[in-house]
Amino acid sequence: MDSLPEMLSMLLAGAVDVLDIAEDLRKAAVEAYEEVGAWLAEHGNPGCQVYPQGSFLLGTVVRPATPRGEYDIDLVIWLLLARESITQSELKERIGRLLDDYRKWKADQGHADGPHSLESRRRCWTLGYQGFHLDVLPAIPDDEHPPTGILLTDENLFRWQHSNPIGYADWFKGRSEMTRRLVEKRHASVADVPTWRTRTPLQRVVQILKWHCMITFAVDLDNRPPSILITTLAGRAYDGEDDLFTAVRIVLDNMTRFVERRGDKWWVPNPAHEEENFADKWNDYPERRKAFYRWYDQIITIMNDLAGMEGKGLDTVYTRLIETFDREPVTKSYLRYTAETEKAQLRMGTTGLLTASASSTGRRVREHTFHGHGHLPRD
């Protein structure tokens, strides 16, 4: 019989499997990205590079919280230009013209799979498709932070914004203890979107946290914590646990320790670029920091409740999960888990003892102590 952590790990992993992007939609999004990227690389400046960033690159995609919600895939278009040679607005407009030319080219070719809209946003251009959209971030090299540092535009800010998506992906890969490269250059200087056959425990932890966060802030999008903030805190707190439920609890127990106070500013630095602060909005909008900690209190309480259900049985655990998480993915995971359990029981010998194939319950997890909320830097 599975232990409680093993049971919860399987239920949670099965649920986020359901929440992962469907293969046909993932394929459509990647094909659209690759075509846009190749077109931009061909028609942009010499040395132009295009590569993905965000959840598609990291393998932490979660289904949108609402039926009409869209998946998004972020891509960077990097032009080999000096900061002194162009302004933020000029770069933004140059990329906008390229994307508009791409839309016209698709229409002239009679292709029905092209973007149906092009919208300017604060830091990017957004190409709209059926079921997903591409956020295209204009960028130039950050000569002060080579080789992968970039400067991004922001319509609301005078200064260029520092970032390093490739460096961040390498950091996250290391925290996940992954060995395969995440960024592979194509012939047209368009990097591939990784195809994740299996998810690491850290990727699953991030998906679970993002899932619960989307549910919590379904009607309060302005205060919803950015996924990059959750991903970074989780990545820093992760300690290499193999068991998913144990990994979730340890991450939750430690993640807020990586929220810094620098003078009068709240700060969660980009691990690949110390000048980028993922908690910058907390300093302008204190209610967003309070909202983050309210969400944190909720999910750590839920996980502590689940950890105290030893001996309560699968049905009781399932009932507690659907009180908090979406019923559909949890139910699908529950049904799959019970079916697998029944198959294992059928493999029992006539003596009533489990056979070797049915008694394997996985790796034993080490003991740990959870301290709850005593360390939260809230004031």
pLDDT of residue 18: 87
Whether a cis peptide bond, with omega within 30° of 0, leads into 147 is yes
| 336 Cβ neighbours under 8 A, 6+ residues apart | 14
pLDDT of residue 378: 57
Beta partners for residue 127, in sequence order: 118, 134
pTM: 0.83
The DSSP bridge pattern shows strands 71-78 and 132-141 to be parallel
| 311 Cβ neighbours under 8 A, 6+ residues apart | none
| 332 Cβ neighbours under 8 A, 6+ residues apart | 14, 15, 18
What are the tokens at 186?
A: 């194509």
pLDDT of residue 119: 96
Give the chain's domains with CATH numbers: 4-299 (3.30.460.10)
pLDDT of residue 189: 53
Alpha-carbon distance values, 272 to 109, 269, 376 (Å): 41, 8, 24
- DSSP letters, 25-72, are HHHHHHHHHHHHHHHHHHHSSTT-EEEEESHHHHT-----SSTT--EE
Distance of alpha carbon 32 from alpha carbon 102, whole angstroms: 12
pLDDT of residue 65: 65
CA nearest neighbour of 32 among 79, 72, 78, 80:
72
Helices 4-19 and 327-346: angle between axes, nearest 10 degrees: 130
- What are the per-10-residue average pLDDT scores of the chain (379 residues)? 90 90 82 87 84 88 73 89 95 95 92 91 93 92 93 91 93 73 40 63 95 94 95 96 94 97 96 93 96 97 95 92 92 93 68 39 38 46
